[in-house]
Every structure is written in C-alpha cells, then in structure tokens.
Amino acid sequence: MRRGQPLARRTRLTARKGLTRRTELTTTTELARVTPLRPMSARRRAENRERREIAHATFGDAPLCAIPGCGRLADDVHEPLTRARGGSITDPSNMVPLCRDCHDVVQRGPQWAYDLGLMVHSWDGGDAA
Ligand SMILES: [Zn+2]
C-alpha cells in the first residue's frame, strides 16, 4: 500500500437509529454460587490436623529450632523434602522444627541448608532415601 493522503470519505455521514439490545440484562444474583468457595479441601484439612498431632507427638510442646546455634523456640515444622518435591507432610522423618527466621532463610535454599540436610533435592529424597 502506498502511503499518501489519509483516506477520504466518499459518502456522507447519515444519522441512523442507535444500537438496540437483543437480550435482556440478567442480574448477577442468578449467576452467583450458592455455596461459598472452600479455602481448603476437607482432605487437606484432615492431613493438616494429622500433621499437627504427629508434630506435637514427635517434638513436644516447646521444641527448639534445629539450626545449630539458634536456640530459639520453633515456630514452624519444616519439610526438608518439600511437598512439591514429593515429600510427605505427615512423615515424622521429614519434619524439622525451625523458628520463623531460620525457616525463611532455609526456604530460600542456601547450600548450607542442603549440606545440613534441611533441604533435600527431589532426586535425593523420596522412596530412594
Ligand atoms: Zn532458628
């Protein structure tokens, strides 16, 4: 296409009838869910309950953070082999009590966490371990 002048209108603009709606508007209440979304499945809720009981039975009421030299009370239960890597959250051998600060650092996956066994690669864990 050759560039040149802008396209020129060849016919005059004429006033016509406006657009008309062909379907009725519907209220959104007819489309709304009757039951609210569940924040967590019943299966996951049961698994978390089981995990809390196992962690309490394994570590007691006031476990200390497992990081050498930390000494604070643990806030979280950490899974060295994460669920995303095929780990179980209800396996006591895959639970380590950590304080929140240490857990935040360990979750970033520094090499020392792998060296201490606090993080496990998927190819190092699972059934083969
Ligand atoms: Zn700690």
Question: 79-100 in b/e burial notation, b at 16+ Cβ within 10 A?
Answer: bbbbeebebebbeeebbbbbbe
CA distance 129 to 123: 9
> Helices in 23-67 by DSSP H: which ranges?
42-59
Ligand 1 midpoint to CA 93 (Å): 19
47 pLDDT higher than 70: yes
Q: What is the 109 CA–ligand 1 centroid distance (Å)?
A: 15
Please state the rounded mean pLDDT for residues 82-103.
Answer: 94
Lowest mean pLDDT of 26-30, 74-78, 113-117, name the range: 26-30
| Farthest-apart Cα atoms in the chain, separation | 86
How close is the Cα of 48 to the center of ligand 1, in Å?
23
For 115, the 3-state DSSP assignment is helix
Model confidence at 103, pLDDT cuts 50, 70, 90, reads very high
Q: Ligand 1: distance of its center to the CA of 80 in Å? A: 15
Distance 104 CA to ligand 1 centre (A): 9
**Cα 124 to averaged position of ligand 1 atoms, centre (Å):** 24
pLDDT bucket at 19, cuts 50 / 70 / 90: confident
Query: What tokens does 102 get?
Result: 């240490």
What pairs with residue 97 in β-bridges? Answer: 77
Q: Per the confidence metrics, is the pTM higher than 0.95?
A: no
